[in-house]
Amino acid sequence: MKGGIVLITWDHVSFAYGAEDFACGAEDEKKEAFAVQDVSLHISKGECVVLCGRSGCGKTTLTRMVNGLVPHFYTGRLEGDILVGGIRVKEAELTGIAKMVGSVFQNPRTQFFHLDTTGEMAFNLENQNMPRQEMQKRLEQTVCRLGLQELMDRDIFQLSGGEKQQIACGSAYAARPWVMVLDEPSSNLDMEGIRKLKKLIREMKEEGKTILISEHRLWYLEGLADRYVLMEEGRITREFDRESLLALSQAERENLSLRAASLSQLRRMAPKAVLPEEQETGLEVTDLAFRRKGRPVLEVKRLKIPKGAVVAVIGENGAGKSTFCLCLSGLLKCSASKRSGGIRIAGETVPLRRLPDRAYLVMQEAGHQLFSDTVLGELFLNNESLSEEKARSILEKLGLGGMEGRHPGSLSGGQQQRLSLGVALCTDRKLMLYDEPTSGQDGENLRRTAEVIREANRQAACSLIVTHDPELILNCATHILHIHAGEIRKWMPLDERGVNEMWKVFGEDRKGERMMNRKSVWEQLTQVAFLPLYTKVVTGSLQLDIYSHLSEKTTAKELAEKMGWNEANTGYLLNGLASIGFVVREGDTYQNSEEAERYLVQGKPEYLGGFIQYYVMSEGMIPMDVVKLVTEGPQPMQQQANEQSLDFAAMGAMMRRAQAGYRQEELLRIVRSLPENEKIGNILDLGCGTGLLGLAVIADRPERIGTLMDRMPEQVIRESAENAGLSDRVTIISGDFLTDAIGSGYDLIIASAVMLFARGNYDPFLKKCYDALNPGGVLLAVSEGIEKDLTGPWDMMMGYLPYYFQGMDMAVRKDEVAEAAKIAGFTGCEKRTELLCSGMQDIDILRKQNNSAHN
Q: What is the CATH number of the domain that holds 438?
A: 3.40.50.300
Which of 268, 296, 331 is where one domain is finished?
A: 268
User: Could you tell me how far CA 720 lies from the centroid of its own chain?
Assistant: 35
- List the beta bridge partners of residue 750: 685, 780
Q: Mean pLDDT, the chain, as a whole number? A: 87
The kind and range of the H/E element at 38 are: strand 36-44
231, 283, 847 from 676: Cα distances, Å: 30, 45, 10
Same domain, 452 and 554: no
Same domain, 264 and 288: no
d(CA 776, CA 852): 9
Same domain, 542 and 688: no
Share of the chain above pLDDT 90, in %: 48
DSSP character at residue 114: -
836 or 25, higher pLDDT: 836
**pLDDT tens digits for range 252-299:** 998 999 999 988 788 878 888 888 876 799 999 999 999 887 888 899
Please check whether residue 744 lies inside any domain of the structure.
yes
Q: Are 104 and 169 in contact (CB under 8 A)?
A: yes
Same domain, 580 and 669: no
Q: Is the bond into 71 cis (omega within 30 degrees of 0)?
A: yes
Which of 245, 268, 291 is where one domain is finished?
A: 268
Same domain, 618 and 661: no
DSSP character at residue 116: B
Neighbour count for residue 134 (Cβ, 10 Å): 11
**pLDDT tens digits for range 584-626:** 888 899 999 888 998 899 988 889 998 888 878 776 556 678 8
Same domain, 100 and 169: yes
The kind and range of the H/E element at 281 are: strand 281-292
Among 103-117, 636-650, 810-824, name the one with the lowest average pLDDT. Answer: 636-650
Q: Are 70 and 32 in contact (CB under 8 A)?
A: no
What is the phi/psi pair of residue 654, to 5°?
-70, -40
10 or 95, higher pLDDT: 10
Same domain, 401 and 466: yes
Which of 626, 659, 690 is where one domain is finished?
A: 626
Provide the pLDDT confidence category of residue 129 given band limits of 50, 70 and 90: confident
d(CA 765, CA 745): 16
Give me Rg for the CA atoms of the chain: 30
Could you tell me the pTM of the whole model? 0.63
What is the phi/psi pair of residue 443, to 5°?
-60, -45
Question: What pLDDT score was predicted for residue 834?
Answer: 74
Neighbour count for residue 623 (Cβ, 10 Å): 11
Supply the angle between the helices 609-620 and 648-659 in degrees, to the nearest 10.
Answer: 130
Provide the pLDDT confidence category of residue 103 given band limits of 50, 70 and 90: very high
Q: Number of helices (H) and strands (E) in the chain: give both, helices first.
A: 35, 31
Q: Are 471 and 260 in contact (CB under 8 A)?
A: yes
Among 209-223, 608-622, 758-772, name the one with the lowest average pLDDT. Answer: 608-622
Same domain, 353 and 444: yes
Task: Give the CATH number, domain containing residue 557.
Answer: 1.10.10.10
Cα angle for residues 628, 633, 636 (degrees, 5° grid): 85
**pLDDT tens digits for range 11-56:** 999 999 985 554 433 333 344 579 999 999 999 999 999 999 998 8
Please check whether residue 467 lies inside any domain of the structure.
yes
Question: What pLDDT score was predicted for residue 622?
Answer: 64
Number of domains comprising the chain? 4
Please check whether residue 166 lies inside any domain of the structure.
yes
Provide the pLDDT confidence category of residue 217 given band limits of 50, 70 and 90: very high
Question: What pLDDT score was predicted for residue 637?
Answer: 65
Question: What pLDDT score was predicted for residue 288?
Answer: 92
Same domain, 220 and 302: no
Q: Say whether pLDDT at 664 is over 50.
A: yes
Q: Identify the CA nearest to 614 among candidates 686, 528, 719, 542.
A: 542
Share of the chain above pLDDT 70, in %: 93
Same domain, 257 and 367: no
Neighbour count for residue 849 (Cβ, 10 Å): 14
Please check whether residue 28 lies inside any domain of the structure.
yes
Question: What pLDDT score was predicted for residue 634?
Answer: 84
Q: Say whether pLDDT at 721 is over 80.
A: yes
What is the phi/psi pair of residue 114, to 5°?
-125, 160
Question: What pLDDT score was predicted for residue 420?
Answer: 87
Please check whether residue 634 lies inside any domain of the structure.
no
Helix then strand then coil, in percent of the chain rounded to 5, is 45, 25, 35
Average pLDDT of the segment spanning 826-845: 82
Q: Say whether pLDDT at 516 is over 60.
A: no
Domain that holds residue 595: 521-626
Supply the angle between the helices 132-146 and 191-206 in degrees, to the nearest 10.
Answer: 120
Cα angle for residues 625, 627, 631 (degrees, 5° grid): 120
**pLDDT tens digits for range 816-833:** 898 899 999 998 888 777
d(CA 274, CA 799): 41
Same domain, 308 and 371: yes
Please check whether residue 834 lies inside any domain of the structure.
yes
448-457 CB burial, b ≥16 within 10 A, e <16: bbbebbbebb
Question: What pLDDT score was predicted for residue 24?
Answer: 35
Same domain, 78 and 190: yes
Per DSSP, the residues of 189-212 read --HHHHHHHHHHHHHHHHTT-EEE
Provide the pLDDT confidence category of residue 632 given band limits of 50, 70 and 90: confident
Task: Give the CATH number, domain containing residue 687.
Answer: 3.40.50.150
Please check whether residue 631 lies inside any domain of the structure.
no
Please check whether residue 317 lies inside any domain of the structure.
yes
d(CA 703, CA 683): 11
Average pLDDT of the segment spanning 746-768: 92
